[in-house]
Amino acid sequence: MKTNNILILSVLLMLTKLGGCADFGDNFLEKPPSVDVTKDTIFSKLEYAEQFLWGAYKTLPYGMPTNWGDGLYMGGDIIESITDLNQSDLTWSGSQTTYYTGAYQPDFENGAYWAQGTKYNFVKRRDAWRGIRSSYIFIANIGNVPNIDQQTKNKLIAEAKMIIAVHYTDMFRHYGGVPWINHAYAVDEDLNIERSTSLATADSIVALIDEAIPDLPWIIQDTNNWDGRFTKAAAMGLKARVLLFSASPLFNSDQPFLEGSASEKKLTWHGKYDQSLWGKAADAAHELIEKVESEGGYALVKTGNPRKDFQDAYYKRGNGELLITTRITYKPNGFFDPNYLMYQLIAWYGVGGPTYNYVKMFPMANGEPITSPTSGYDPNNPLINRDPRLYETVLVDGDYYMGRTAQMWVGGVDRPTENATQAATGFGWRKFGLERTPETSGSAVTEWPYLRLAEIYLSYAEAANEVNNGPTAEAYRCVNIVRNRVGLGDLPTGLSKEEFREIILNERACEFGYEEVRWYDIIRWKREDIFKKDIKGLNIYRDPNTGQKTYVEFNKPTRYWQNNFSPKWYLSAFATNELDKGYGLIQNPGWE
């Protein structure tokens, strides 16, 4: 395996330059001289060593493009744009040029930012291997820091292990089994490390998390300065996420999703169906739920204001619901900050196009789906009295916005023409952008909600449903906790296993839209039917004399896989030039 991509030469350890702070609030540590320093200098003082670890924290995945350089993954797009939740109209984005056209191929994984933007990329842009490498360097050398007590040392090592675990979790979800690195390699070590099986990769991630859990604090005491550092709850939550993905049909099945050499070697499936994997996922999620409900420190944000509570749940720092957060800066310097590209993409470039498919997933405010004859849904006025999460996720016509009422009809302020890029589906992207003012978003303290407690409740319910061949009372309770937070009523009882499963997937879409959850839900359940759906928008026409509005559903341009779908799309390909390095990578099925 080529050292400068994944492994670390010992000589480079001596020349490592301390990176920027991961920004845990205002507690900026003393910085060493801004020149190349030796390993001995880095680990000569606790503050310097911690600064090195904060640099590893800074490599953690962030769900939106962040700058015009290495942060521009997917060509300036978001992964939601290749799901049924969002349609990107950014013409040079990865969605438009790579996925919607079906042009994607393995070589794109090391391709140009603009023309070949991909959703992960094994060696570029996601920064995973740098984070893993830095974390192992830290683990190997923190013992050299003088006057460090054992508890502090163990806690910092546990944090480094969690950085590694997060990166491997994302690689596992994009590729299946990957090469497992367990230390910083020296120059004379064997660099040829083959891919682990999918099950071994999942087991290795879980084992690393289990090593970290005992040495992490349950909560962060000083959230003003240290919010974002790993906790015991964060580790337990990540473990539940990994086990749920591992238990899902993509890997846990009687047959592989597609034949190929990688499938034969069990790199992209576990080799058989194992019901117990669902039990492990349920147990891991419920262990965290029980601890949260017995010891406190965490809970869903619920003050009685459903819209504000939902917004705070994903957006507000230190809210008690966010388990893992990542950040690139403390506060962006307004909408035009070159290192905070997301606001420009939301407001002007056409990335944020919530689909009508997505809007229709949200139930009515009484909790009933819009297809229910007793829900009160009015097709002639389809956007009123809906789930509060709709209005905090999607900018819809008639909602309050920037001190006025949103005008999403064709010819209105917010959609001057049918093809206006900021609302080409008939809807705008509200989540994270909020009011698109400096106070609410442009210059606000910001972070990425990588994992929330609400996900653990829904993950438990899903896994319990599968392992028990139908929903249990506790599974119902956990789903209802999430629904009740936004004022929705309890689910009807007596649902079948299949009905409950569909409701869970719908709940996850409504709760976690634009938080990089939907893509993984679609692929882990091998939902070819969702890939084949027509992508819908909604044109609203307003009579200038009467103010009467007419709603007309329309199709967005056809995506390649709607008519040409192959299961190969479930996992990413490895770049051809990475395979050619000869260290044991085997291409994923369908991309050979």
Per the CB < 8 A criterion, the answer to whether 66 and 342 are in contact is: yes
Neighbours of 269 (CB within 10 A): 25
- Residue 184, pLDDT score: 84
pLDDT in tens, 190-215: 777 899 999 999 999 999 999 999 99
Closest by Cα among 452, 429, 532, 391 to 80: 429
Mean pLDDT of 78-85: 96
DSSP H or E run through 163: helix 150-175
DSSP H or E run through 550: strand 549-555
pLDDT in tens, 294-312: 999 999 999 999 999 999 9
Q: d(Cα 352, Cα 431) in Å, to the nearest integer?
A: 10
DSSP secondary structure code for residue 176 in this structure: S
pTM metric for this prediction: 0.93
- Residue 339, pLDDT score: 61
**Lowest-confidence range among 117-121, 135-139, 245-249?**
117-121
Helix (H, G, I), strand (E, B) or coil at 452: strand
Q: d(Cα 340, Cα 47) in Å, to the nearest integer?
A: 28
DSSP H or E run through 137: helix 128-141
C-alpha distances out from residue 73 to 205, 213, 263, 332, 522, Å:
24, 31, 28, 19, 21
Neighbours of 202 (CB within 10 A): 26
pLDDT in tens, 439-477: 777 667 678 999 999 999 999 999 999 999 999 999 999
- Residue 19, pLDDT score: 34
Per the CB < 8 A criterion, the answer to whether 129 and 6 are in contact is: yes
Mean pLDDT of 48-73: 86
Contacts of 178 (CB under 8 A, 6+ apart): 168, 171, 172, 195, 196, 201
pLDDT in tens, 349-398: 889 899 999 999 999 999 999 999 999 999 999 999 999 999 999 999 99
C-alpha distances out from residue 435 to 285, 391, 392, 403, Å:
34, 12, 10, 9
Query: Percent of the chain, pLDDT > 90?
Result: 75
pLDDT in tens, 405-420: 999 999 999 999 998 9
C-alpha distances out from residue 242 to 180, 236, 259, 283, Å:
16, 10, 24, 13
Give residue 286's Cα distance to chain centre.
Answer: 21
- Residue 114, pLDDT score: 53
Q: d(Cα 332, Cα 581) in Å, to the nearest integer?
A: 40
pLDDT in tens, 505-554: 999 999 999 999 999 999 999 999 999 999 999 999 999 999 999 999 99
pLDDT reading at 269 higher than 60: yes
Query: Percent of the chain, pLDDT > 70?
Result: 90
pLDDT-derived band at 68 (thresholds 50, 70, 90) equals confident
What average pLDDT does the structure give for the chain? 90
Tell me, what amino acid is at 27? N
pLDDT in tens, 425-441: 999 999 988 887 777 77
Contacts of 191 (CB under 8 A, 6+ apart): 1, 2, 3, 7, 185, 583
- Residue 115, pLDDT score: 56
pLDDT-derived band at 37 (thresholds 50, 70, 90) equals low
- Residue 6, pLDDT score: 34
Q: d(Cα 479, Cα 473) in Å, to the nearest integer?
A: 10
